[in-house]
């Protein structure tokens, strides 16, 4: 029984590692949107058995990073422009609410952690532009920490489980060029100032503006990418 449990644990650990590798490759665009993926191809590329791979792919599908298409099979998700804008509409509503609640509920320790993460991101500004705004997931992600700081479990689950990886994909691939990263840093600092001051209305308004600016930037760059793809 112990051997079986240990073996199962190893498979889960391996599946977790493969999931992390694949989701990061998808989020960074190393496996582009719309790419057909197969278990044999991935098993060969990552040198793993099919069992852990299937588990990792199930998680990728649950997090909406891959989708099953009739007569095609599994592929990396490719949102239409309409779906992308709907995603950002949802972000605008939920993340502005999270900022309001964070201004009400965040502890001094949580706010300090938020500032530490911003300082870390600022030190990364010398990175190449296409990587300048790649945020590690979870505790190193500004938006994740604010959702966590809302102290609203349902809101956190919606933002950081249901939508998290899909949002990261588009935020990472289409927010990193031009002057947008630098503007986003400044917007982040203002949001934290409002949260620290306990100004719920200001925190909500600044986050709403921040997401709207990101939505406009992403939609413009996505439209350009689609045009380039069709030419």
| DSSP labels, 74-99 | EEE----HHHHHHHHHHHHHHHHHHH
Q: How far apart are CA 159 and CA 136, in angstroms?
A: 16
Q: Output 129 or 76, whichever has higher pLDDT.
A: 76
- Report the range of poorest mean pLDDT among 28-37, 70-79, 169-178, 199-208: 169-178
Asked whether residue 185 carries a pLDDT value surpassing 50, the answer given is yes
Domains belonging to the chain, first-starting first, are: 2-76 (1.10.10.10), 81-230 (1.20.120.530)
Q: Output 167 or 105, whichever has higher pLDDT.
A: 105
Asked whether residue 151 carries a pLDDT value surpassing 90, the answer given is yes
| DSSP labels, 119-188 | HHHHHGGGS-GGGTT-PPSGGG-HHHHHHHHTT-HHHHHIIIIISHHHHHHHHHHHSSSTTHHHHHHHHH
Q: Output 47 or 198, whichever has higher pLDDT.
A: 198
Partnered with residue 74 across adjacent β-strands are 68
Q: Summarize pLDDT for 37-51 with one digit per residue, the tens.
A: 888 888 888 787 888
Region of residue 49 (phi > 0: left; psi between -120 and 50: alpha; otherwise: beta): beta
Cα dihedral across residues 114, 185, 164, 216: positive or negative: positive
- Percentage with pLDDT > 70 across the chain: 81
pTM for the predicted model, two decimal places: 0.79
Q: Summarize pLDDT for 41-87 with one digit per residue, the tens.
A: 888 887 878 888 888 899 999 888 999 888 888 999 988 888 888 99
Q: How far apart are CA 89 and CA 84, in angstroms?
A: 9
């Amino acid at each position: 029984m112990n051997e079986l449990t240990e073996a199962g644990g190893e498979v889960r650990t391996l599946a977790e590692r493969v999931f992390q590798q694949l989701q990061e490759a998808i989020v960074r665009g190393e496996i582009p949107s719309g790419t057909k993926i197969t278990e044999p191809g991935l098993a060969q590329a990552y040198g793993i058995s099919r069992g852990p791979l299937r588990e990792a792919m199930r998680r990728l599908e649950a997090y909406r990073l891959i989708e099953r298409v009739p007569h095609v099979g599994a592929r990396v998700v490719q949102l239409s422009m309409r779906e992308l804008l709907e995603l950002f509409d949802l972000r605008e509503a939920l993340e502005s609410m999270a900022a309001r609640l964070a201004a009400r509920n965040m502890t001094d320790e949580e706010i300090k952690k938020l500032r530490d993460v911003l300082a870390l991101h600022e030190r990364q500004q010398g990175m190449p532009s296409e990587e300048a705004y790649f945020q590690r997931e979870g505790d190193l992600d500004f938006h994740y920490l604010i959702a966590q700081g809302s102290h609203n479990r349902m809101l956190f689950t919606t933002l950081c489980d249901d939508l998290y990886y899909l949002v990261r994909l588009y935020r990472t691939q289409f927010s990193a060029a031009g002057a947008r990263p630098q503007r986003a840093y400044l917007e982040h600092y203002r949001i934290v100032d409002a949260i620290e001051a306990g100004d719920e209305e200001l925190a909500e308004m600044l986050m709403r503006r921040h997401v709207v600016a990101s939505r406009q930037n992403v939609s413009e760059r996505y439209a350009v990418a689609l045009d380039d793809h069709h030419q």
